[in-house]
Structure 1
């Protein structure tokens, strides 16, 4: 299961098949999740402070990994060597990224694709859970970290960092104190929970996601 697929499962309600409120920036987070996934496979890296141009993407092996969405992202990134991570978020988030991930999950029997109409006129699609076993394991792991105070694995840390970047941690992981969950997610996002290489990649990518979120907001504010 991709990190991006885990993120989709966390954000979409199991019963209604619709995203939780406030998930308007999900596409950017999913793009960031693909970048992090490719970094874990050693296909993409971010230059460190010792490089002539730190904080730049370097793309190595571009051979397919076997997942259409991930391979499409890698193909796009192959033309972005030397770019900043923020420059990759928008291209990777396009082409109905969440829809492609949802379709892939439905094809594997994890979700169920249901078509309907609003007011009997407007077509709509929902994605309720069909087999929630994997999602339950993911949620249990994040609950252990965000509510019980456990140490995250690298994958859990990446997921939490992305949820924190789009301000959805407390809306997807239930706890007795939502503010504490939000605070803990921010702490994890800023913490030293991963190897140096992984931490660097996650920090750069989550920062890029936040830049992508902020730019449209600034433009709208300026034009009003």
Structure 2
């Protein structure tokens, strides 16, 4: 595994950063995350908000939630963003319904992109020695290390995050995956009720432009609902 400096090239998407924080560097897989599809879809939604390409309708009544709306014109700089934008542009949808569609297939697509960047590698394994599956261990950890260095002081010391870092923390908190993101922090950062509280504070706060905060909150609410539903279903079936 190399730790050479990451060659910038194009800006990494929030959805790619989420995947890096969730993947186990050695095992190359994401530990049980029932809302992963929604979490990754939320990353694309927030990215569109940062580009001012998504908004929300007005809430008409207590029984009618706000719908996501595509805004702006022209092509987007990344095919994943364009696909997410096109989905939102099809028709007004609530955040949870939109993230179901936007997040579909990202668990496969995003690691493949990170392999192309030289950040992950692809390995074929057999589960129980029989069932073939693919894992994506870390190949170059420099970008992930930089990412964790930005997150750590926000969670540990109460530092004020920039919009992208706040969005990452908010989405991870909503998906009950913030604890996972503390793995490999340097120096180590132990999970605690204070860290959990700080994550919730950022999840519910206003960080930057209203449209971005609105997108983060809409995505966070959808991710939380999906996580609760999946956890309840697992508990019931068990």
TM-score (norm 1): 0.87
- Partner Cα distance (2:98, 2:212) in 1: 18
- Which range moved further: 5-14 or 58-67? 58-67
Aligned to 1:185: 199
Q: How many corresponding residue pairs?
A: 220
Offset, 1:192: 2.9
Structure 2 residue aligned with 1:135, among 136, 144, 166?
A: 144
Offset, 1:222: 8.1
Q: Map residues 30-69 of structure 1 onto 2, 5 A cutoff.
A: 30-48=40-58, 55-61=66-72, 63-69=74-80
Post-superposition CA distance 1:106-145 (Å, at most 9, x none): 0111111111223432212111111221111111111110
Aligned to 2:9: none
Contact 1:151–1:193 (CA under 8 A) maintained in structure 2: no
Gaps of 5+ in 1: none
Structure 1 residue aligned with 2:19, among 8, 17, 20?
A: 8
Gaps of 5+ in 2: 1-11, 184-188
Post-superposition CA distance 1:49-83 (Å, at most 9, x none): 699x7722121235432322222212211102x32
Q: Map residues 1-224 of structure 1 onto 2, 5 A cutoff.
A: 1-19=12-30, 21-48=31-58, 55-61=66-72, 63-80=74-91, 82-94=92-104, 96-174=105-183, 175-216=189-230
- Partner Cα distance (2:34, 2:228) in 1: 12
- Partner Cα distance (1:165, 1:197) in 2: 18
Cα pair distance change 1:160/1:118, threshold 3 Å = same
- Partner Cα distance (1:77, 1:138) in 2: 29
- Partner Cα distance (1:217, 1:15) in 2: 26
- Partner Cα distance (1:222, 1:18) in 2: 25
Contact 1:90–1:212 (CA under 8 A) maintained in structure 2: no
- Partner Cα distance (2:41, 2:141) in 1: 23
Aligned to 2:186: none
TM-score (norm 2): 0.83
